[in-house]
């Protein structure tokens, strides 16, 4: 062991002195650290576990590290070995399920996990689900990395992030944990990009648990970055004595290994956990060009943000609703009235994309007429960046394929990252959606993602007429049937007159 450690130190030193390849990574880490510290965000780097730095590996563990390549296509031949590792509640179907959901996709060269839902593994908007998140939290811990972080071969509740979340809850620390791990095939550049594109707040903590090269420690010390070895958290740990804590590689830790790692991380970062409430000023480390749209459309986004600035109010209690209103109903009116009770001002963005039954200019005018008597309601066009063919094309095909799985993350991110702060919006209201599956997915994504940007998503129960909820689709159904008697019951007078004038 001493010879291995000496060899390891010599190798790290030579790499440190001779290799220029990795210096750019650490220069970028230094830049990240500088920006994070400037914005009161702590930054930690944990080097991935190395088997030659862990002295108490068993013969069985050493043998499978050197000789075993886990073959998922021929899982039967590995069953005996896997049973000795997983032991309790283990069978072939369980193993297949916990290893699923690992697909990595590339979006404009940026890697992220493909969305996936199952009993044991859930990827939502490219992020592995962390269990036991608190309803109330003051700050966030963001963890980035490859297999160990993502949780190769474990359930959601057994990832490092989920164990750390439970530890924080036990110690009554008001933090939530977000797992940005990608898994096999990701590189440190992917971690850097993910950090740059993450919305952060003062008081947050950023952790990278990954590996670059054997000279990592030298560079981190030179650059003043807080550096720790995951191997040190694992070696000689009593919880791991006579227990199997990984599968085919020390980076593929099981629930036992993940719990030990999370405990070690907690002990290290505990001193930086604070109850101090910082000014909730969100920021990213990327420029406007980081929006996932083409450059020419970035200029249009800037122009749109300049246009809507004239509607900005000096208040920290501003709500918003995005409405298509195809057409405007008493259900829409009820949603607006209910939302208005809890905010000082309410901004209504009218979907401008002309892919609905009623044209935008008519829908916009019907909403303005329908809320004309309400104070502090601002009605403005949504532009190209809220529920549009650019940001959320799936929304407009829902009537043809209501069972589709949609990705609305781009639409939500642009709203949270740029539009909400431009108008001081802190709340977004949505109507409960029991019928339209696409809209329900959109609502669920907003509830999960908007809080990342400091925007609360509030769902309001739909208004009912008789035993049925009021919806624009029902109005269109009655219109097709020429049933104006039923239409009159569920739309404002202005909408009713509009429909009679054009369709009788």
Q: In this structure, are 240 and 301 located in the same domain?
A: no
Q: What CATH number should be reported for the domain holding residue 327?
A: 3.40.50.620
Q: Is residue 335 part of a domain?
A: yes
Number of domains in the chain: 2
Domain span at 335: 290-503
Q: In this structure, are 213 and 350 located in the same domain?
A: no
Q: In this structure, are 230 and 354 located in the same domain?
A: no
DSSP H stretches of helix in 143-294: 147-150, 160-170, 188-197, 216-223, 230-234, 255-269
Strands (E), 387-485: 425-431, 456-460, 464-465, 468-469
pLDDT in tens, 327-375: 999 999 999 999 999 999 999 999 888 777 888 899 999 999 999 999 9
Number of H helices, E strands in the chain: 20, 17
Q: In this structure, are 236 and 167 located in the same domain?
A: yes
pLDDT in tens, 102-152: 888 876 566 888 888 888 998 877 889 999 988 778 888 999 999 999 998
Domain boundary among 272, 302, 325: 272
Q: Is residue 252 part of a domain?
A: yes
Q: In this structure, are 251 and 347 located in the same domain?
A: no
Q: Is residue 306 part of a domain?
A: yes
Looking at per-residue confidence, does 399 or 208 come out higher?
208
Count of other CB atoms within 10 angstroms of residue 91: 11
Q: In this structure, are 259 and 329 located in the same domain?
A: no
Q: In this structure, are 185 and 314 located in the same domain?
A: no
- Residue 98 burial (10 A CB sphere; 0-12, 13-18, 19+): buried
Q: Binning pLDDT at 50, 70 and 90, where does residue 96 land?
A: confident
CA 39 to chain CA mean position, Å? 21
Count of other CB atoms within 10 angstroms of residue 117: 11
CA distances to 158, 166, 402 from 163, in Å = 6, 5, 36
Percent of the chain at pLDDT > 70 equals: 81
Q: Is residue 279 part of a domain?
A: no
Compute the C-alpha angle 117/119/125, nearest 5°.
25
Domain boundary among 220, 245, 272: 272
Q: In this structure, are 492 and 432 located in the same domain?
A: yes
Q: How far apart are the C-alpha atoms of 92 and 255, rounded to whole Å?
A: 18
Q: In this structure, are 11 and 147 located in the same domain?
A: yes
Q: In this structure, are 98 and 25 located in the same domain?
A: yes
Largest pairwise CA distance in the chain? 91
Q: Is residue 343 part of a domain?
A: yes
Q: Is residue 280 part of a domain?
A: no
Domain boundary among 221, 237, 272: 272
Q: Is residue 282 part of a domain?
A: no
Which distant-in-sequence residues (6+ apart) come within 8 Å of 287 by Cβ?
none
Is 17's pLDDT higher than 70?
no
Mean of the per-residue pLDDT values of the chain: 81
Nearest to 143 by CA among 246, 224, 277, 48: 48
Is 265's pLDDT higher than 90?
yes
Q: Is residue 278 part of a domain?
A: no
Q: In this structure, are 23 and 132 located in the same domain?
A: yes
Read off the DSSP letter of residue 250: T
Question: Rg (Cα) of the chain, in Å, rounded?
Answer: 26
Q: In this structure, are 250 and 335 located in the same domain?
A: no
- Residue 96 burial (10 A CB sphere; 0-12, 13-18, 19+): exposed
pTM of the predicted protein model: 0.62
Query: Looking up tokens 């909408």, which residue turns up?
Result: 495
């Amino acid at each position: 062991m001493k010879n291995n450690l000496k060899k390891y130190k010599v190798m790290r030193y030579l790499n440190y002195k001779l290799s220029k390849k990795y210096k750019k990574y650490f220069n970028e880490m230094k830049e990240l650290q500088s920006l994070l510290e400037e914005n009161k965000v702590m930054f930690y780097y944990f080097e991935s576990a190395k088997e030659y730095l862990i002295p108490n590996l068993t013969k069985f563990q050493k043998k499978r590290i050197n000789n075993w390549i886990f073959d998922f296509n021929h899982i039967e031949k590995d069953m005996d070995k896997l049973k000795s590792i997983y032991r309790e509640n283990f069978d072939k179907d369980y193993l297949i399920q916990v290893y699923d959901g690992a697909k990595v996709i590339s979006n404009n060269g940026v890697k992220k996990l493909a969305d996936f839902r199952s009993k044991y593994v859930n990827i939502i908007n490219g992020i592995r689900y962390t269990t036991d998140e608190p309803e109330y939290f003051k700050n966030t811990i963001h963890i980035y990395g490859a297999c160990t972080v993502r949780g190769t071969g474990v359930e959601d509740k057994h990832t490092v992030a989920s164990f750390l979340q439970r530890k924080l809850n036990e110690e009554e620390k008001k933090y939530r944990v977000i797992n940005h791990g990608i898994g096999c095939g990701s590189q440190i550049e992917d971690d850097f990009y993910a950090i740059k594109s993450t919305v952060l707040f003062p008081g947050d903590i950023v952790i990278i648990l990954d590996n670059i090269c054997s000279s990592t420690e030298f560079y981190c010390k030179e650059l003043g970055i807080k550096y720790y070895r995951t191997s040190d958290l694992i070696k000689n740990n009593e919880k791991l004595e006579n227990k199997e804590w990984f599968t085919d590689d020390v980076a593929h830790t099981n629930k036992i290994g993940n719990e030990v790692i999370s405990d070690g991380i907690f002990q290290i970062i505990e001193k930086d956990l604070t109850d101090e409430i910082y000014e909730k000023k969100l920021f990213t480390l990327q420029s406007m060009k980081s929006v996932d749209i083409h450059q020419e459309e970035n200029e249009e986004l800037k122009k749109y943000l300049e246009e809507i600035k004239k509607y900005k109010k000096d208040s920290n209690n501003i709500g918003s609703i995005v409405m298509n209103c195809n057409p405007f109903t008493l259900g829409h009116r009820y949603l607006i009235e209910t939302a208005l009770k809890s905010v000082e001002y309410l901004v209504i963005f009218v979907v401008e994309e002309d892919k609905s039954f009623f044209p935008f200019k008519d829908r916009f005018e019907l909403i303005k007429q329908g809320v004309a008597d309400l104070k502090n309601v601002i009605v403005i066009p949504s532009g190209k960046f809220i529920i549009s063919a650019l940001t959320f094309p799936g929304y407009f095909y829902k009537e043809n394929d209501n069972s589709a799985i949609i990705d609305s993350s781009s639409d939500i991110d642009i709203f949270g990252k740029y539009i909400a702060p431009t108008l001081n919006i802190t709340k977004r209201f949505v109507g409960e959606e029991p019928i339209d599956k696409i809209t329900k997915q959109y609502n669920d994504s907003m509830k999960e993602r908007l809080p990342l940007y400091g925007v609360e998503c509030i769902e309001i129960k739909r208004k009912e007429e008789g035993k049925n909820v009021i919806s624009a689709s029902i109005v269109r159904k009655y219109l097709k049937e020429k049933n104006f008697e039923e239409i009159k019951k569920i739309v404002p007078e202005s909408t009713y007159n509009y429909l009679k004038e054009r369709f009788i």
